């Protein structure tokens, strides 16, 4: 099995701890690194020269028009379209490198060293660890990288983020539904840090949807239509732009 590991690299303070965590990943199979840099020649050189050398595939996207992603930028369709383009470049790299799967991690997320081993062990074509997208005291419902997606045929998809950590958090090694749902409806989607199987990548692309929402929603709608649903494992990653640099 061959896994392409990498992500979209933005010029921000999270890069060094992010790359240090990625370098510590245990490799349960053949691993090739691939990075798509959002218009920073310095970062592209850093990746190629100081981290993985010529064995890594690095693409520096300098010609892409539109609003660059920043944590402070107003969210809007232009940013999501840009992110979709960058993610699809990474997708294309992974497929061209002959991957069986892509492990994509956003450049402000710190993953545990054994997370790839645990994801591969599930045997699922779309599976994620957990990362929260808002800080304590933010949205009381909580926003996570795993969310429920319903009604893609009749209303372009209703998204509902849920809090899978806390009372009722599952004991299973992996789960494909909201742990509070007694019916165990398999309606989950995921983004930000995921393992994607090759067949899923061949059938779905990142895009803004008909409502101009995030690129992960457009990808998820295509994945659902192709018969795929996301699973997650009860492993939490740190989100540096939410949790800060120090561990809680």
Domain 2-243: which CATH number of 3.30.300.30, 3.30.70.1900, 3.90.550.10, 3.90.320.10: 3.90.550.10
Name the DSSP class of 91.
H
Read off the pLDDT of residues 44-68 as tens digits, 9 standing for 90 and up.
887 776 666 667 788 888 755 454 5
| Rounded CA separation 168/177 (Å) | 12
Tokens read off for 206: 């990142």
12: Cβ–Cβ under 8 A, 6 or more apart, which residues? 70, 71, 107, 108, 241
For residue range 68-110, list pLDDT tens digits in order.
544 444 456 788 899 999 999 999 999 999 999 999 999 999 9
Helix (H, G, I), strand (E, B) or coil at 4: strand
* Cα(3)–Cα(1) distance, integer angstroms: 7
Per-residue pLDDT band at 246 (split at 50, 70, 90)? low
Extract the tokens encoding 14: 């999270």
Whole-prediction pTM: 0.89
116 touches 26 (CB < 8 A)? yes
Mean pLDDT across the stretch 184-193? 95
CA 71 to chain CA centroid, nearest Å: 16
List of E strands, the chain? 2-9, 30-37, 57-60, 101-105, 109-110, 126-130, 146-150, 158-161, 188-190, 193-197, 231-236, 238-239
Nearest to 91 by CA among 247, 226, 215: 215
Query: How far apart are alpha carbons 111 and 183 in whole angstroms?
Result: 31
Domain ranges (residues) in the chain: 2-243
């Amino acid at each position: 099995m061959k896994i392409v590991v990498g992500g979209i690299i933005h010029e921000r303070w999270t890069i060094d701890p992010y790359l240090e965590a990625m370098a510590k990943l245990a490799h349960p199979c053949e691993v090739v690194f691939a990075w798509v840099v959002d218009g920073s020649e310095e970062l592209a050189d850093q990746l190629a020269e100081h981290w993985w050398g010529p064995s890594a595939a690095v693409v520096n996207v300098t010609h892409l028009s539109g609003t660059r992603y920043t944590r402070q930028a107003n969210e809007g369709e232009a940013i999501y379209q840009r992110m979709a383009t960058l993610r699809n470049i990474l997708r294309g790299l992974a497929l061209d490198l002959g991957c069986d799967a892509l492990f994509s991690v956003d450049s402000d997320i710190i993953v545990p060293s054994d997370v790839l081993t645990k994801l591969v062990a599930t045997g699922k074509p779309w599976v994620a660890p957990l990362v929260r997208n808002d800080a304590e005291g933010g949205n009381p419902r909580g926003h996570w990288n795993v969310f429920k997606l319903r009604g893609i045929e009749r209303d372009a998809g209703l998204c509902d983020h849920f809090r899978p950590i806390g009372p009722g958090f599952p004991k299973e090694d992996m789960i494909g539904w909201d742990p509070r749902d007694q019916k165990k409806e398999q309606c989950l989607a995921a983004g930000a840090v995921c393992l994607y199987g090759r067949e899923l990548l061949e059938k779905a692309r990142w895009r803004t949807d008909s409502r101009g929402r995030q690129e992960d929603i457009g990808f998820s709608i295509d994945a659902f239509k192709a018969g795929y649903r996301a699973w997650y494992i009860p492993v939490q990653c740190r989100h540096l732009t939410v949790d800060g640099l120090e561990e809680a």
